[in-house]
A and B are shown apart, each in its own frame.
Chain A
Amino acid sequence: MDFELSDDQVALCDGIRDLCQGRFDIDTVRGLADCGGVDRQLWSELVDTGVFSLVVPEEDGGVGLGWAEAGLVFEQLGRALVPGPLVGTLLAAGVVDDSVVGLVERTDGSALVEYPDVIDALLVLDGDGVWRVDAAELSFEPAQSVDPLTPVGRVAELPQGDEVGGCYGWVNRAVFLCSALQVGLATGARELAVAYAQERQQFGKPIGQFQAVKHKCADMYSREEVARAALYYASCVLDAPELADEDRAVSGARILAAEAADHNGKDCVQVHGGMGFTWEIDAHLYLKRAWALTPCFGSLDEHAERIAAMV
C-alpha cells in the first residue's frame, strides 16, 4: 500500500497548476463570464494538454491514465476556478467528436443547461442511455445564474437526441469529477482566507494571530484534508472496482467534498469581513461555484441514503 501520490502524479499536479497560473489567472477567469464561460483559444490549450483525454486509452489517442489522475487534474482546475463544461467534456472524450460538451440529467419538464451559449453538443443522461443533442437543436431561455462563471439556460423540453452509448458508470464518474472540482474549490478558498488573515491588520496585529480567526482557518484545512482523503480513496476504487464498493466510495467523496467547498466558501467570506461581501474579492466565486456543483446527479441526502443502505 502506498496511498501517497507517485512522482508522476506530483509532476502532473504541478504541470496543471502551472498551466492554470499562467493561462487562467483570476482576471482572465473573471473575464470569461463575458463570453459564456469558455474562450475557444484557452479551451484548446486544455484540450492540447490532454485534460479531457486523460482516461482515454493511448491506442485511442488518449493519455491512458486513470481516475486518480483525472481527480488530481480536476482538483487543480477547481482550485483555479477554471470555468466551462469540464465534467461533460471529459466524459464525452472518445464518445463524441465535439470539443465543448455539456452534460445534463433528463428529468420531467424543463431542464437547466449549463454553458448553453458555448457548447457544441449536450449529452443527456437517462435510465436508458446517453444521448447526444446538437447545440443547434437546443432552444433555451437565458436565466440568471447564481454563479457568474456557470451561466445557465432553461430548456423547455430536452430533445431526445441520438444514442451514443449505455449509461453504466456515467453517474458515479460525473459525481466524482464534480467532487474533485469541489475539493479544489475548498483548497482555493482556504488559501485565499489564510493569505488575507496573514496580511490584514486590526488591533495592531494580523487577524490570523487571533484564535477566533486562526481556528476558523484550521477548521477549513481539516475539512479539506478529510474530503481529499475521501476523494483519493474514491479514485482508487474507480480505478480498481474489485477493491471496494464504488457507490459507497463515490457517495462518501461527494458528501464531504460538497460540504467542504460550501463551508470553506462561507468561512472565506467571513474571514474577509465586509470585503468578503463585495464582488471585488474572489471569496464569493468559490462559494457560488461550490453551490453550482452540488445539485448534480442526486442530492447529498440521496448520497447519504445510498451509504446508509450499506451500513
Chain B
Amino acid sequence: MDIRFSAEEIAFRDELRDWLGEVLPTLGDPPDRDDWTARRKWDMGWQRKLYDAGYAGINWPSEFGGRGSTPTEHLIFLEETTRMGAPYVGMNFVAQLHAGPTLILEATAEQQARHLPAMLKGEEVWCQGFSEPNAGSDLASLSTRAIRDGDHYVVTGQKIWTSFGHVADYCELLVRTDQEAPKHRGITWLICPMDLPGIEVRPITTVAGSSEFCEVFFDEVRIPVENRVGDENDGWRVAMVTFSFERGTAFISELLGTMNQLAEMAELARGIRRNGSTAWDDDEIRREIGHLQAEYDALWALTKRVVSQAQRTGMPGPGGSVFKLYYAEVKKRMADLAHRMLERGALVLAEGGGDEQTGGDMVASRLYVLSLSIAAGTSEIQRNIIGERILGLPKER
C-alpha cells in the first residue's frame, strides 16, 4: 500500500507539466457550446497537439501508435491536464476511449490501419450507436436489423442517445443479424460511415438546453460486410470486450473538475453576504462543504485503488460501479448546496452556458448532474451489477 509515485512517474509528470505550460496559453478561448463547427475544430485541434507531442492514445499499446503508458501514468496524465485546465476529451471520447480500444482488440489489420492513425491524429469523430428507444438498460434486446445482401448489410432501425451523432464521421453500430437466436447471440458490431445514404440524424435537446445527443434513423442503409468487426452474431462479446480496456480512469477528469468546483463554491460562500454575515458563517453550509470534500477525497483514493488493481492484474477492480453510483449522489448534493447558497441567484443560468462538465456554472451543473445516475448504466443497473456480480445475490431473471 504505497501512494508515492516512482521516480519515472514523477519524471513523466514534470515533462507533461512543462509541455502543458507551453501549449495551453496558445489555445485561445474555447468555443460556444452550440457552435458545432468551432467545437469540432477545437476538440480535433487539441487531439492533434497531443499527437504531435506524443501524448495521443496515452493508454493505447505502442504497436498501435499509442504511448503505451501504465495505468498510473494515465492517471497522472488526466490529473495534470485537468489541474492545468487543458481541454476535455470532448467529441474524441468515443474514438479514444471506446471505438479505438475495440478496434485494437478485435478488428482486422486493414480496419486498424484505416482508422487507428486517423483517430490518434484527430481526423475522425466517432459516435456510438448502441442504445435504442426500446433497448436501454436491456441493451441486448436491441432490434435495429441488418439483412445480408451480397457484400453488404442492409440496416434499418433507430438509435438514440448518440452523442455528437450530427458531427461524427463514423459510428460504432450494434445491429441484429439473427432474429431467431437468443438475444445476446444475434448481434453484430459494424463500422458505419455516417455519410451513407439513408441515415438521418436529429438532435435531441436535453433538460440543460444543449444538443450533443442525437437520435439516428437508418432506412435501408447499405454497409459493406468488410466493415464488420468480429464475427457475425458475435457483436455482444465484441461490445463487452471493450470494457476490459477500461482501467478505472473514466471519471478522473470529471472528479478532479468537481473538486475544483467545490473549492470555487467555498470561495463563493465566503463572499456571499446576507444579513451582516456570509454564507460561510452558516454552520450547515460550512459542514456540508467539509463533508463533500471528505467524500471526494475518498473517491479519489478509491480511484487510485482501482487503477492500482488494473496496474497489477490488467483488469480494474470492482470499484468502478461503486464509484459511479456513489459519485452521482454526492455531486447532486453539491449542486443542491450551491443553490442553497445562491438563493434567488439560482434562478439565472450563466450567460453562454459554458461546458457544464468542467466549468464553474453551478446552475447549469444542477441540471447536468441529473444525467450522472442515468448515462453509461443507470444507478439501478450499477446496483444490480454490485449485488449480483460482487455480492453473489441471485439474479432476478
Contacts and interface: CB of A to CB of B under 8 A. Distances in A.
Interface residues of A, number: 53
Contacts of A306: 290
B305 interface: yes
Interface residue SS majority, chain A = helix
Contacts of A229: 298-299, 301-302, 304-305, 319
Nearest to A234: B301
Nearest to A236: B3
Interface stretch (A41-49, A135-143, A152-160, A209-217): A209-217
Interface string A271-311: 00000000000000000000000000000010111111111
Nearest to B76: A1
Interface stretch (A51-59, A84-92, A124-132, A218-226): A218-226
A233 B297 contact: yes
B16 interface: no
Contact of B304 (A1, A256, A301, A309): A1
Interface string B189-203: 000000000000000
A215 B383 CA distance: 5
Interface in A190-249: 194, 197-198, 205-206, 208-211, 214-215, 217-219, 221-223, 225-227, 229-230, 232-233, 235-236, 240, 243, 248-249
A211 B383 contact: yes
A249 B312 CA distance: 25
Given A3-B304, A230-B301, A215 B295 contact: no
A38 B8 CA distance: 50
A68 interface: yes
B351 interface: no
A311 B265 CA distance: 9
A172 interface: no
Contact of A222 (B289, B322, B380): B322
A308 B290 contact: yes
A5 B1 contact: yes
Interface stretch (B89-97, B159-167, B389-397): B389-397
Contacts of A253: 298
B386 interface: yes
Contacts of A311: 262-263, 266, 289-290, 293
A3 B1 contact: yes
A242 to B, nearest CB: 10
Contacts of B382: 218
How big is chain B's contact interface, by range? 35 or more
A68 B290 CA distance: 24
Contacts of A249: 297
A102 interface: no
B286 interface: yes
Contacts, number: 169
Interface residue SS majority, chain B = helix
A176 to B, nearest CB: 14
B326 interface: yes
B2 A3 contact: yes
Contacts of A4: 1, 305, 308-309, 312
Contacts of A252: 293-294, 297-298
A230 B1 contact: no
A9 interface: yes
Contacts of A3: 1-3, 301, 304-305, 307-308
Contacts of B75: 1
B290 A209 contact: no
Given A214-B393, A217-B393, A1 B2 contact: yes
A305 B287 contact: yes
Contacts of B4: 1, 240, 243
Interface string B359-389: 0000000000000000000001011101110
Given A1-B5, A233-B297, 7 more contacts: A217-B387, A223-B326, A229-B301, A248-B293, A304-B288, A306-B290, A308-B293
Interface of B: 1-6, 9, 72, 75, 262-263, 266, 283, 286-291, 293-295, 297-299, 301-302, 304-305, 307-309, 311-312, 319, 322, 325-326, 380, 382-384, 386-388, 390-396
13 contacts: A2-B311, A2-B312, A4-B305, A194-B392, A206-B394, A218-B382, A218-B387, A230-B294, A233-B3, A235-B1, A251-B290, A252-B298, A301-B283
